[in-house]
Amino acid sequence: MILHDLISLDILRVIWWVLLGVLLIGFALTDGFDMGVGALLPFVGKTDVERRVSINTIGPVWEGNQVWFILGGGAIFAAWPPLYAVSFSGFYLAMFAVLAALILRPVAFKYRSKRDDARWRNRWDWALFVGGAVPALIFGVAVGNVLQGVPFEFNNDLMALYPGNVFSKFIGLLNPFALLAGVVSLSMLLMHGAAWLTLKTEGPVQMRARAIGSVAGTVAFATYILAGIWLAFGIAGYHLATAVPANGPSNPLFSQVVHGGSWFAAYAARPWIAIAPILGLVGIALATLGLRSGREISTLLFSKLGIFGVISSVGLTMFPFILPSSLQPDASLTVWDSSSSQQTLFVMLVAALIFMPIILAYTAWVYKVLWGKVTVEDIERDNQTVY
């Protein structure tokens, strides 16, 4: 028996669906507070020193945190090729905006302190704001569009086709429900960034972060509930009309999909998945209360719990769908018909089991070494070695 035959294709597909979720959640939990701090920077820091304190809470770790984003993109490319091709084609301008913002961030980190000029530094501070706020917003908008279905179709050669030009497709993404999902994402990561600043700073920066973060947490809580109600009663879901062989070929056109009913039918079929939105709401609520009461470590942990619950609720609600099609429902991508081969998934799994523990161990060691608050005294003492 060939080694990769020890794990069947259906199990490998589910494993990689879970691992993709882990990578995306890992990115949100780590780089999420980086983006949150960047988006908060012009508001929590009123002086140059205060802003440098904020920047130096994330300066040593942001590059490592982006590893999760790279791993997530790589996993989509290798484990779910149709998803990679279809999503990057449909969200081309949105992806370009995200990448431009993420590229702007390291440039701002490196160039901000090159000149001792207030206007120069202020421009780069707003660049860091863009580098944090834009991706946080667009990621949520993308999720909102996925839940509604993306307008693509396949021809007989399995080539993905989109109606309209690139600009019209981008404008189409900015619909009301998607923008609401964007607000959920942005406010949630602002709360997460504020929780990080509460843990890593003191004095005026910490106080402002608590005040802004508690408002952001309240907004995240309210908009998440509103989005859930809208999804339950105003957004048509997707359902498989016939059973799809879990070990079948990766050809989405072999499935029959019904676009109608509610996504929330998943909760009737699998009641246990309700734990995800409950964790999301509880985590956001406790993080918001923690920001208001001045707690530090528990606030960050509850913020992470909230993000975990919110993101996992989307994946569990949609399962087995990964990218539904509003234009040709039968072309919708699911866990069962859009993966790579069994051998590819197995080899990737072996690599993940080897390298993921190394990445996690190194990340834990880095945070242990960098544990503690960043103070004004640190900035003034190490003026030449900090951002």
pLDDT for residue 5: 67
DSSP readout, 121-159? HHHHHHHHHHHHHHHHHHHHHHHHHHHH-B--EE-TT--
Name the burial class of residue 230, with classes exposed (0-12), middle (13-18) and buried (19+) by CB atoms within 10 angstroms of its CB. middle
Tell me what pLDDT residue 228 has. 95
Profile the chain (387 residues) by mean pLDDT over runs of 10 residues. Answer: 72 94 92 93 92 90 85 90 86 87 90 88 94 94 93 82 72 89 97 96 94 97 97 93 83 87 93 96 97 93 97 95 92 92 92 90 87 80 64
Burial of 70 (0-12, 13-18, 19+ CB in 10 A): exposed
Separation of alpha carbons 85 and 318, rounded Å: 20
Say which amino acid occupies 292.
Answer: R
How far is the C-alpha of 171 from the C-alpha of 155, rounded, in Å? 24
pLDDT at residue number 382: 67
Size of the chain in residues? 387
174 closest CA partner among 231, 94, 101, 102: 94
CB neighbour class for 294 (10 Å; exposed up to 12, middle 13-18, buried from 19): exposed
Q: Are 184 and 138 in contact (CB under 8 A)?
A: no
Cα–Cα distance for residue pair 336/2, rounded to 1 Å: 22
Handedness of CA 270, 275, 278, 283 (dihedral sign): negative
The DSSP secondary structure of 257-288, one letter per residue, reads EEEEEETTHHHHH-GGGGHHHHHHHHHHHHHH
Residue 368 corresponds to which tokens in the numbers above? Answer: 């242990």
Q: Any idea what DSSP says for residue 80? A: -
Alpha carbon of 36 to those of 237, 278, 312: distances in Å?
Answer: 31, 23, 20
**What phi, psi does 328 have (nearest 5°)?**
-140, 85
> Strand pairing partners for 222?
none
Which neighbouring-strand residues pair with 325? 150
> What are the φ and ψ backbone dihedral angles of 292, each rounded to 5 degrees?
-70, -35
Which of 373, 369, 359 has its CA nearest to residue 19? 359
Neighbours of 368 (CB within 10 A): 8
C-alpha 153/C-alpha 362 separation (Å) is 43
The residues pairing with 161 across neighbouring beta strands, listed in sequence order, are 153
Q: Which helix (H) or strand (E) holds 238?
A: strand 236-240
Both structure tokens of 4: 């990769």
Q: Which amino acid is at 312?
A: S
Residues 6+ apart with CB under 8 A from 43: 208, 212
C-alpha–C-alpha distance, residues 130 and 122, integer Å: 13
Q: How far is Cα 234 from Cα 225, in angstroms, rounded to an integer?
A: 13
- What's residue 232's pLDDT? 93
